[in-house]
C-alpha cells in the first residue's frame, strides 16, 4: 500500500465520526487462538485486564476528583492530616486479596500448559539463523525433516526497500515460508525445542505460547489443534540481522490428509537420496544451486555474491570459492565458522543441495572453479 | 589552595573549573548536562527506529544497523541518561537536603563523573569499527552477543567503566547520607528523595559487580577460550540470563526509586499539605528493593524453567504490586483535600503517577506467567517498560528539573513554555506508546525492522507520536537554557508550599551549601 493511501486511511480513522467501524479493522487485542490453551490464556488475560481497569477507574477517579475539587483557585484550605495506620492496612490487604484471586486461575493454566505427558507424537524444532528445522521423531512420520525459510517472494520483496509492493501479500507479508510445518489435527503434539547457533523463540500466537529455542538445551511444550488451518507466527527472540525474517507457519491437516502428506514427503526423501548417487551435470547443479543460494545464503552474502564486508565476506572472487581444491569451501559450508554468523549446513541441507550450492558459488558472478558432486559431499561427511 | 582566601573562595575560572571541580553542585550540573546529551543522542536513535517502522518494508537502514539502534538506544538511555541524571540530582540535592556543605568524598565524585564521557565515547566509537555497534539487544544475551565483531571488547570495557562510576557514586551517596546529616536530622526525618537514593545506592553496590562479572565472562568466552555460556563447552547460555537479570531487575528499581523520592517531594509542595504516610513510604521503598532481588526470572518465563520456579517468580513478582500500590495510594491521599496548584513540576508529577500506574498495570499483567507466554518479547513489553521509564523515570527527572531549576539558577523558568512542554509531551508520548500495547497483543515481536502489513496503521500512528515527542524535547533544552541565562528572580523558598532545608538557602545557593550545620527540629 502506498504511503499516501495509508495516510488517508489514518486520517479517516482519526477524524471519522463513525470511528467505531473505521477502527474495527485494526487488531487491538490478543488472539483467542485455536487451542484450548490459547483460549485459557486469553481468558486469563481478559480477567487481569478488567481487574486493572476496575482498579484504574477507582484510583484515577479519586485522583481526578481531588484535582478538580481540592484546588487553591477554588479557595480550598489544605487539610493537614498525614497518617492513618488503618488506611495503610486497608490498602495493603485489599490488593493482596485481589492478587491471590488472580494467582489461582493463573496457577491452574500454568500447570496445564507445562504438562507435556501422554503426547501422541513428538516434533523437534531447531532454530537456525534464520530459519526453522522440523524433525519428526516418532510415529509414521519418523525420519522426516523439513527446513522452513522465509518464502522466496517475500525474501525478494523485503530487499527492494521502498519500491516493494507489499499489497500482493495481503496480511501475510513476512509471515509465509517455503516449507511449512505440517501437523495432524486432534493429536497432542509434543515439541522439543533447541537451536543450532543462537537463542531463538518459536511463537505461534494462535497456539497460545512461545518457547525459547536454546543451543545445547532442549525445551518442551505441547499443543492440540482441533481446527484444520494455517497458523502463522515468527521468531520472538532477537537472533541477529534477519531476526524479523524467520516466520513460523503451521499447517494443521485432518489425519487422513496428513497421512497422505507424510507418504508424499517420504517418497520425495527417497528420490533425493537416490539422486545423490548419480553424477550431476554442471548445468543441473547451477540451476538447483541458485535456488538454494537465494534461500539460504543471499541474506548475508547478497544475491550478487558481494557480501556485506567486513561481517559477511564476499564470495565473488574470494580465494576460497575460486581455489582449485574445494575441500576448504565444503568444510565451511558443512561445519560453519565458530564465532561468526556462518551456520553449519551439515544437518540443514541434503547432499544434492550442498553440492549444488557450492558449485554455484564457485561458478557464479565470474567465479570459475571446479564443480562439486553430491558424492563428494557424502564422502566428506 | 591559598589559605588566605579560604573563606571567600569560589569556583576556579574557565574550563579547568569543570575538569578539576570537587564541588557537589558543579559535578551535579556536569552529570545533568551529560545525561541531557545522552538523552538527545539516544532519542535520535529512537527517531531512526520509528522512521524505519513508519511503514512496512525496509526503507532506510540495514537490519543489522537497526538492531544496533535498538541496542545502543537502550544502553544510552539507561546507563547514559537516566542513571547519570539521578546521580546529578543526588549530587545537587542530597547535601542541601541534609544540611551538609558538600558530598563526603569530593575527589571520588569528580572521578566518577569523568569516567562517564570516556565510557560512552568508547561505546559510541564501536559504530566506526569493523562490524558496527552492538546489535544483540542491551541484555547482550550470548551466544548472539559473541557474534559482535571488532567493537566487542570496547563495548564491554565501556560497561565496566560506567559500572565503576555508578559504584563510586553510590559509595559517595551512602557515606554522605550516613555521616553528614545536620544535627537533629534522624534517618526518619530525611526527605524521601534522600531515603530513596540511600536504598538505590545499596542496590547499585549490590548489583553492578554482578553485571561486571557477567560481561567479563562474555569477554573471556570470546577471547580466552572459556565456555561459561556455551553448552558445547559445558557452559550454559541460560546461566547468563540468570546472572544478567539478577542485576537487571534491581536495575529497574534503580531507575525508578529516586523517581518515587522526587514525586514525594513535589506533591506536598503543590498540595500545600504534608506527605501522607511518610514512614509507610520508607518501608514500601525498602520492600520494593528487597523484592527486586527475588523476581529476576520473570524476564525469563519462556526460557524453560521448572514449573515450581515459574510459580515462585510469578507469585513474587505479583507481590511487588503491594508496596507499589501503597505508594500510589499515599500520593493520592497527599493530594486529597490539599489546596492544589498545577505549575509545571506538579503537572509532570501528576502525569508520572497516572502513566507510571498504567505501566504498573501492564507490569502486573506481564507477571502472570501463562499470559506472559503470549506477551513476552512483543511490543506489549515495549509499551510497558516505556510507560514506566519514559513517563515514569524521565517524567520524574523533568519534574525535578522544573522544581529545583529556580533554586539552582536563581531564575524562574518560563512557566508558559514549561506547561506547553508538558502538554505536548504528554499527548505525544501516549500517541507514541499506547498503540504499542495493541501491536504487541496483535502479535508484533519487538526488535524487528520490518513487519507484516496488518501492523502498519498503529506503527504509523506510533511513529508520528514519536516524532512529536522527540522534537518537543528540544523545547525542554531551550527552557533550561533560557532559565540559566536569566529570567524573573526566584525567592529563597521559590514555591509557596515548599518545605525542607534546601529552600532555606539562597537562590542560587552558596558554593558550599551549608557552612554551618542548620538545626533540625
Per-residue pLDDT of A299-312, as tens digits, reads 788 888 888 877 78
User: Is residue A139 domain-resident?
Assistant: yes
- The kind and range of the H/E element at B85 are helix B83-98
CA distance B246 to B299: 10
Q: Does the annotation count B414 as an active-site position?
A: no
- The four Cα atoms A304, A306, A308, A312 give a dihedral, to 10 degrees, of 100
Q: Nearest 5°: CA angle at A194, between B379 and A295? A: 75
Helix H segments across chain A?
3-15, 19-23, 36-69, 85-113, 152-158, 255-275, 282-296, 298-301, 319-322, 327-335, 351-363, 374-380
- Asked if residue A91 lies in contact with residue B326, where contact means CB atoms within 8 angstroms, the answer is yes
- The pLDDT, as a whole number, for residue B11 is 75
Domain boundary among A87, A114, A141: A114
Q: How many CB atoms lie within 10 A of CB A326?
A: 23
User: Chain A contact for B378, CB < 8 A?
Assistant: yes
CA distance A265 to A268: 5
CB half-sphere exposure, B181, CA atoms < 13 A: 16
Average pLDDT, whole number, for chain B?
A: 94
A254 to chain B, minimum CA–CA distance in Å?
A: 26
- Asked if residue B295 lies in contact with residue B320, where contact means CB atoms within 8 angstroms, the answer is yes
User: Is residue A297 domain-resident?
Assistant: yes
- Helix/strand/coil for A146: strand
Let me know whether A105 and A214 are in one domain. no
Give the burial class of A121: count Cβ atoms within 10 A of its Cβ; 0-12 exposed, 13-18 middle, 19 or more buried. Answer: middle
User: pLDDT by residue (tens digit) across A160-204?
Assistant: 877 778 888 888 899 999 999 999 999 999 999 999 999 999 999
Let me know whether A73 and A145 are in one domain. no
User: pLDDT by residue (tens digit) across B250-271?
Assistant: 999 999 999 999 999 999 999 9
Confidence of residue A18 (pLDDT cuts 50, 70, 90): very low
Q: How many CB atoms lie within 10 A of CB B224?
A: 8
- Asked if residue B220 lies in contact with residue B277, where contact means CB atoms within 8 angstroms, the answer is no
CA distance B441 to B375: 7
Q: Is pLDDT at B6 greater than 50 in this prediction? A: no
Task: For residue A283, give its domain range.
Answer: 276-380
Q: Which of A9, A63, A217 sits opposite B238 (nearest CB)?
A: A217
Average pLDDT over residues B148-164: 95
Let me know whether A102 and A140 are in one domain. no
Interface of A with B in 300-339 (CB under 8 A): 308, 310-311, 339
State the Rg of chain B over Cα.
23
Let me know whether A254 and A282 are in one domain. no
B374 to chain A, minimum CA–CA distance in Å?
A: 5
- The pLDDT, as a whole number, for residue A378 is 84
Q: Nearest 5°: CA angle at A147, between B376 and A326? A: 125
Q: Which residues, in sequence order, are CB contacts of B117 under 8 Å at separation 6+?
A: B34
Q: How many CB atoms lie within 10 A of CB B69?
A: 23
Let me know whether A268 and A135 are in one domain. yes
- Interface mutation vs chain B, best among A33, A114, A175, most B CBs within 10 Å: A114
Confidence of residue A273 (pLDDT cuts 50, 70, 90): confident
Let me know whether A77 and A142 are in one domain. no
Confidence of residue B9 (pLDDT cuts 50, 70, 90): low
Let me know whether A240 and A303 are in one domain. no
Average pLDDT over residues B161-174: 97
User: Is residue A1 domain-resident?
Assistant: no
- Interface mutation vs chain B, best among A7, A30, A75, most B CBs within 10 Å: A30
User: Is residue A6 domain-resident?
Assistant: no
Q: Is pLDDT at A19 greater than 50 in this prediction? A: no
Q: Which residues, in sequence order, are CB contacts of A303 under 8 Å at separation 6+?
A: A159, A294
Q: With left for phi above 0 and alpha for psi between -120 and 50, is residue B14 left, alpha or beta?
A: left
Q: Is pLDDT at A340 greater than 80 in this prediction? A: no
Q: Could you tell me which of A57, A25, A219 has the C-alpha nearest to residue B238?
A: A219
Q: Is pLDDT at A26 greater than 90 in this prediction? A: no
Chain B residues whose beta carbon lies within 8 Å of the beta carbon of residue A199: 141, 143-144, 237
Q: Is pLDDT at A229 greater than 90 in this prediction? A: yes
User: pLDDT by residue (tens digit) across B92-146?
Assistant: 999 999 999 999 999 999 999 999 999 999 999 999 998 899 999 999 999 999 9
Q: How many CB atoms lie within 10 A of CB B511?
A: 16
Residues above pLDDT 70, as percent of chain B: 98
CB half-sphere exposure, A117, CA atoms < 13 A: 3
User: Is residue A14 domain-resident?
Assistant: no
Average pLDDT over residues A353-368: 90
Q: Does the annotation count B253 as an active-site position?
A: yes
CATH number of the domain within which A370 lies: 1.10.760.10
- The pLDDT, as a whole number, for residue A1 is 42
User: pLDDT by residue (tens digit) across B404-461?
Assistant: 999 999 999 999 999 999 999 999 999 999 999 999 999 999 999 999 988 999 999 9
User: pLDDT by residue (tens digit) across A103-148?
Assistant: 999 999 999 999 999 999 999 999 999 899 999 999 999 989 999 9
- The pLDDT, as a whole number, for residue A27 is 75
Let me know whether A216 and A334 are in one domain. no
- The pLDDT, as a whole number, for residue A7 is 56
Chain A residues whose beta carbon lies within 8 Å of the beta carbon of residue B64: 241, 308, 311
Instruction: Give the total residue count for chain B.
Output: 521
User: Chain B contact for A15, CB < 8 A?
Assistant: no
Average pLDDT, whole number, for chain A?
A: 88
Domain boundary among A114, A132, A162: A114
Average pLDDT over residues B60-75: 95
Contact A174 B280 (CB under 8 A): no
Least confident of A68-77, B82-91, B165-174: A68-77
Chain A residues whose beta carbon lies within 8 Å of the beta carbon of residue B148: none
State the Rg of chain A over Cα.
28
Let me know whether A46 and A163 are in one domain. no
- The pLDDT, as a whole number, for residue B433 is 97
Q: Could you tell me which of A145, A202, A207 has the C-alpha nearest to residue A179?
A: A145
Q: Could you tell me which of B53, B108, B158, B5 has the C-alpha nearest to residue B466?
A: B53
Q: How many structural domains are present in chain A?
A: 3
Q: Quick one: closest CA in A to B281, which residue?
A: A88
Q: Is pLDDT at A298 greater than 50 in this prediction? A: yes
User: Is residue A321 domain-resident?
Assistant: yes
Contact B132 A214 (CB under 8 A): no
Chain B residues whose beta carbon lies within 8 Å of the beta carbon of residue A28: 438, 441-442
pTM of the model: 0.91
Higher pLDDT, B96 or A12: B96
CATH number of the domain within which A161 lies: 2.60.40.420
Q: Which of A175, A203, A215 sits opposite B452 (nearest CB)?
A: A175
User: Chain B contact for A341, CB < 8 A?
Assistant: yes
Let me know whether A146 and A245 are in one domain. yes
Confidence of residue A24 (pLDDT cuts 50, 70, 90): very low
Let me know whether A232 and A243 are in one domain. yes
User: Is residue A203 domain-resident?
Assistant: yes
Domain boundary among A257, A273, A289: A273
Buried-exposed string B386-395: b where 16+ CB fall within 10 A, e elsewhere: bbbbbbbbbb
CA distance A188 to A115: 11
Let me know whether A130 and A248 are in one domain. yes
- The pLDDT, as a whole number, for residue A127 is 95
A368 to chain B, minimum CA–CA distance in Å?
A: 29
CATH number of the domain within which A71 lies: 1.10.287.90
User: Is residue A64 domain-resident?
Assistant: yes
- The pLDDT, as a whole number, for residue B1 is 38
> Would strands A131-136 and A145-148 be described as parallel, antiparallel, or unpaired?
antiparallel
Helix then strand then coil, % of chain B, to nearest 5: 70, 0, 25
Amino acid at each position: 500500500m502506498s504511503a499516501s493511501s495509508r495516510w488517508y486511511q489514518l486520517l479517516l480513522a482519526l477524524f471519522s465520526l463513525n470511528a467505531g467501524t473505521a477502527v474495527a479493522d485494526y487488531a487491538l487485542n490478543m488472539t483467542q487462538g485455536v487451542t484450548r490453551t490459547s483460549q485459557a490464556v486469553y481468558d486469563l488475560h481478559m480477567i487481569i485486564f478488567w481487574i486493572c481497569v476496575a482498579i484504574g477507574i477507582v484510583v484515577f477517579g479519586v485522583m481526578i476528583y481531588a484535582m478538580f475539587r481540592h484546588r487553591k483557585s477554588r479557595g480550598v484550605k489544605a487539610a493537614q492530616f498525614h497518617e492513618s495506620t488503618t488506611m495503610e492496612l486497608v490498602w495493603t490487604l485489599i490488593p493482596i486479596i485481589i492478587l491471590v484471586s488472580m494467582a489461582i486461575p493463573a496457577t491452574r493454566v500454568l500447570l496445564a500448559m507445562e504438562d507435556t505427558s501422554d503426547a501422541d507424537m513428538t516434533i523437534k524444532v531447531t532454530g537456525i539463523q534464520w530459519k526453522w528445522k522440523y524433525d519428526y521423531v516418532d510415529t509414521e512420520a519418523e525420519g522426516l525433516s523439513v527446513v522452513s525459510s522465509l518464502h522466496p517472494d517475500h525474501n525478494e520483496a523485503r530487499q527492494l526497500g521502498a519500491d516493494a509492493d507489499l499489497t500482493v501479500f495481503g496480511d501475510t507479508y513476512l509471515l509465509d515460508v517455503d516449507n511449512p510445518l505440517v501437523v495432524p489435527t486432534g493429536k497432542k503434539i509434543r515439541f522439543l525445542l533447541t537451536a543450532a547457533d543462537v537463542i531463538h523463540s518459536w511463537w505461534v500466537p494462535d497456539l497460545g505460547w512461545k518457547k525459547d529455542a536454546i543451543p545445547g538445551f532442549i525445551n518442551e511444550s505441547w499443543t492440540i489443534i482441533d481446527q484444520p488451518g494455517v497458523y502463522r507466527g515468527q521468531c520472538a527472540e532477537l537472533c541477529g540481522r534477519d531476526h524479523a525474517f524467520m516466520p513460523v507457519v503451521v499447517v494443521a491437516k485432518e489425519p487422513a490428509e496428513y497421512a497422505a502428506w507424510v507418504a508424499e514427503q517420504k517418497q520425495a526423501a527417497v528420490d533425493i537420496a537416490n539422486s545423490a548417487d548419480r553424477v550431476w551435470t554442471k548445468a543441473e547443479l547451477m540451476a538447483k544451486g541458485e535456488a538454494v543460494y537465494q534461500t539460504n545464503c543471499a541474506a548475508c552474502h547478497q544475491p550478487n555474491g558481494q557480501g556485506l564486508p567486513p561481517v559477511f565476506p564476499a564470495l565473488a572472487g574470494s580465494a576460497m570459492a575460486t581455489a582449485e581444491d574445494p575441500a576448504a569451501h565444503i568444510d565451511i559450508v558443512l561445519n560453519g565458522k565458530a564465532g561468526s554468523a556462518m551456520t553449519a549446513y551439515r544437518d540443514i541441507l541434503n547432499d544434492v543441495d550442498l553440492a549444488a550450492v557450492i558449485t554455484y558459488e564457485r561458478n557464479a558472478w565470474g567465479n570459475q572453479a571446479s564443480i562439486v558432486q553430491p558424492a563428494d559431499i557424502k564422502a566428506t561427511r | 589552595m591559598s589559605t588566605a582566601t579560604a573563606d571567600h573562595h569560589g569556583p576556579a575560572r574557565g574550563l579547568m573549573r569543570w575538569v578539576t571541580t570537587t564541588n557537589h553542585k558543579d559535578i551535579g550540573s556536569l552529570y545533568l548536562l551529560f545525561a541531557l546529551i545522552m538523552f538527545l543522542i539516544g532519542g535520535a536513535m529512537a527517531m531512526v527506529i520509528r522512521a524505519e517502522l513508519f511503514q512496512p518494508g525496509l526503507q532506510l537502514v540495514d537490519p543489522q544497523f537497526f538492531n544496533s539502534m535498538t541496542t545502543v538506544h537502550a544502553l544510552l538511555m539507561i546507563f547514559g541518561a537516566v542513571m547519570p541524571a539521578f546521580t546529578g540530582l543526588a549530587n545537587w540535592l542530597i547535601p542541601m537536603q541534609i544540611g551538609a556543605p558538600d558530598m563526603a568524598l569530593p575527589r571520588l565524585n569528580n572521578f566518577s563523573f569523568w569516567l562517564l564521557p570516556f565510557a560512552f565515547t568508547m561505546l559510541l566509537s564501536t559504530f566506526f569499527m569493523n562490524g558496527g555497534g552492538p546489535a544483540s539487544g542491551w541484555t547482550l544475551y550470548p551466544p548472539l552477543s559473541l557474534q559482535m565483531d571488532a567493537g566487542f571488547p570496547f563495548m564491554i570495557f565501556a560497561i565496566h567503566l560506567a559500572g565503576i562510576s555508578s559504584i563510586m557514586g553510590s559509595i559517595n551517596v551512602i557515606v554522605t547520607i550516613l555521616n553528614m546529616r545536620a544535627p537533629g536530622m534522624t534517618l526518619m526525618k530525611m526527605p524521601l528523595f534522600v531515603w530513596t537514593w540511600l536504598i538505590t545506592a545499596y542496590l547499585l553496590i549490590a548489583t553492578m559487580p554482578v553485571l561486571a562479572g557477567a560481561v567479563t565472562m562474555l569477554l573471556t568466552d570470546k577471547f580466552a577460550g572459556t565456555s561459561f555460556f556455551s553448552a558445547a563447552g559445558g557452559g550454559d547460555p541460560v546461566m547468563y540470563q540468570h546472572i544478567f537479570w539478577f542485576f537487571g531487575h534491581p536495575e529497574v528499581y534503580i531507575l525508578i526509586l529516586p523517581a518515587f523520592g522526587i514525586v514525594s517531594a513535589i506533591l506536598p509542595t503543590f498540595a500545600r499539605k504534608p506527605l501522607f504516610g511518610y514512614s509507610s513510604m520508607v518501608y514500601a521503598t525498602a520492600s520494593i528493593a528487597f523484592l527486586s532481588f527475588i523476581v529476576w526470572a520473570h524476564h525469563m518465563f519462556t526460557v524453560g524453567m521448572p514449573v515450581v520456579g515459574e510459580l515462585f517468580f510469578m507469585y513474587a513478582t505479583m507481590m511487588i504490586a503491594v508496596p507499589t500500590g501503597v505508594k500510589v495510594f499515599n500520593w493520592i491521599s497527599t493530594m486529597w483535600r490539599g489546596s492544589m496548584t498545577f505549575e509545571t513540576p506538579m503537572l509532570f508529577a501528576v502525569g508520572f503517577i497516572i502513566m507510571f500506574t498504567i505501566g504498573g498495570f501492564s507490569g502486573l499483567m506481564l507477571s502472570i506467567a501463562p499470559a506472559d507466554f503470549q506477551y513476552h518479547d512483543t511490543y506489549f513489553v515495549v509499551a510497558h517498560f516505556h510507560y514506566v521509564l519514559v513517563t515514569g523515570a524521565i517524567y520524574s527527572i523533568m519534574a525535578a528539573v522544573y522544581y529545583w531549576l529556580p533554586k539552582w539558577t536563581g531564575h524562574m523558568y518560563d512557566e508558559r513554555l514549561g506547561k506547553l512542554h508538558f502538554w505536548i509531551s504528554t499527548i505525544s508520548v501516549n500517541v507514541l506508546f499506547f498503540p504499542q500495547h495493541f501491536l504487541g497483543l496483535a502479535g508484533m515481536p519487538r526488535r524487528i525492522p520490518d513487519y507484516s502489513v496488518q501492523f502498519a496503521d498503529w506503527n504509523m500512528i506510533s511513529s508520528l507520536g514519536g516524532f512529536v515527542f522527540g522534537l518537543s524535547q528540544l523545547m525542554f533544552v531551550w527552557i533550561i537554557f533560557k532559565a540559566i541565562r536569566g529570567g524573573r528572580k526566584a525567592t529563597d523558598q521559590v514555591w509557596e508550599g515548599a518545605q525542607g532545608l534546601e529552600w532555606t538557602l539562597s537562590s542560587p545557593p552558596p558554593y558550599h551549601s551549608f557552612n554551618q550545620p542548620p538545626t533540625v527540629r
